[in-house]
Structure 1
Amino acid sequence: MRVRDELKLGAGDALVLVDVQQDFLPGGHLGVEEGDRVVPPLNRMIGIFRNHGLPVVATRDWHPLNHCSFREQGGPWPPHCVQHTHGADWAPELALPEDAMIVSKGDTATQEAYSGFQGTDLADRLHRAGVRRLFIGGLATDYCVLQTVLDACAQGFDARVLEDAIRAVGVEAGDADHALQQMRVAGAKLISSQDLADANV
C-alpha cells in the first residue's frame, strides 16, 4: 500500500518523454532495438497525466545538417533527427497532446546535448510551474534518458524512471545496466508504468 500511495499523482508532478522520434525507432537512422515498444506505455502515461491535469513535456533532438555529433563532422553518430525532416518527427503512434511543452536540444551545430536540460530553459520552466517530481521515459536509456535523469536529479527534482518505457542503444555490452545504476546512484527511482497506472485508476 505504501508504494501505491507514493505513486499517487498530484500537483507538482509532470511526465517527461525523451526523444520519442522517428530516427530512434527501428529502421530509423539511429534506430534503437525495440524502441517502438516504449510508445504504448508512454501513451498510457500521457492519458493518465492528462486526466489529472498535469504537464506533459517532450524533448527532441533538433539537429542542423552540420551538427557536431554527426560522423561527417567528426562525431560518433550517423546524421539523425535533422530539423524539419521525417526523422525528427515524433513516433507516428505517440499520442502527444497539442499543449505539450516541447523542448528542442542540440539545435546548434557546435553543441551536443543528450540531456533535455542542457542548453535549454527546461529547469526554469518546470520550477516556475511548481513541478517537483518528474516521471521520465523514452529513448535511449544509456544516452538521452540517462543524462536527462542525472540532470533532473542535479536540478533538485524527484526523478522516477519508467523502466518499462525506456530502451537502450547498447553500443557496448552492459551499457543499459550501467546507465540504470548511475540513475539509482544519483537518487532516481525505477518504477513500472503499470504500477503508476494501477495507483491512479
Structure 2
Amino acid sequence: MRIFLVWTLFPGGWAVTGPKQVTVEQGSSLAVSCSYKPRYKLNSKYWCRKSSLWPCLTSIIRTDGSEVTVTQDRVSIRDNHTENSFTVTLSSVTPGDAGQYSCGVKKVGINRWHSTKVMVSAAVSNTTEDSNLSPLTTNPLCPRGCGEPPVLSQPSVIHLLLLLSIKVPMALAVAAGAAWVRSRGRSPASIACDARGSQC
C-alpha cells in the first residue's frame, strides 16, 4: 500500500528530475533545466504552473517532441535529446512569477513531472545616495574635515612674516615714544626723587 501511495504522488519513480527550488532576481532571466529518462526522448516536454499539490492540467509552454525551441511571450522551452534534458527560460522576471511549477513529460496515461519552487528576490541597486559625496563633505558641521590642521599657503606665510617684521617694531617704537613723552612732562626734581626712592 505504501509503495502505491509513493507511485501516485511521484509517478514514474522520478522519471523527471530537476531543482527543488530556484531563486531569481527581479528583472533578470530564469533558466530551469530538467532531466528525463532516455525512453522519453521523443515525448513532448512541458512547463506549467501548479495551483495545489496536484499536477497542473494546462501547460504554459510545451515542445512537440523535437529539439526545436518553442517561444511564447516571455517563456521558451528547448529539448536536448543528446543530454536527455530540456530547459525552460523565463525573461524579465516579476514578483508575480514566484510560485510552484512543474516540468514534465507528456505520456499516454499519467504524465511524468518534477515540481520546482520559483522564488523572486528584489533587485539590488548598484548606486547609493551617498556615492557622489566625498568623505570630507558628509558632515555639514565640518565641511573641510574635522581634526585636520589648517594648511597655510605660501602667500599666507609671506604675509605673516611681513606683519612680524614691520608692525611689531612699529608698535614697540610707539610705546617707547609714549614713555619718552611722559618722562618729558615731569619736573627734574620729581625725576631725582624717583631716582633716590625717597619722598620729596
Q: Where on the TM-score scale, by shorter chain, does this alignment land: which range?
A: under 0.3
Larger RCO (CA under 8 A, 6+ residues apart)? 1
TM-score by length of 2: 0.21
TM-score by length of 1: 0.21
Q: Which has the higher strand share?
A: 2
Whichever of the two has the greater Rg, that structure is 2
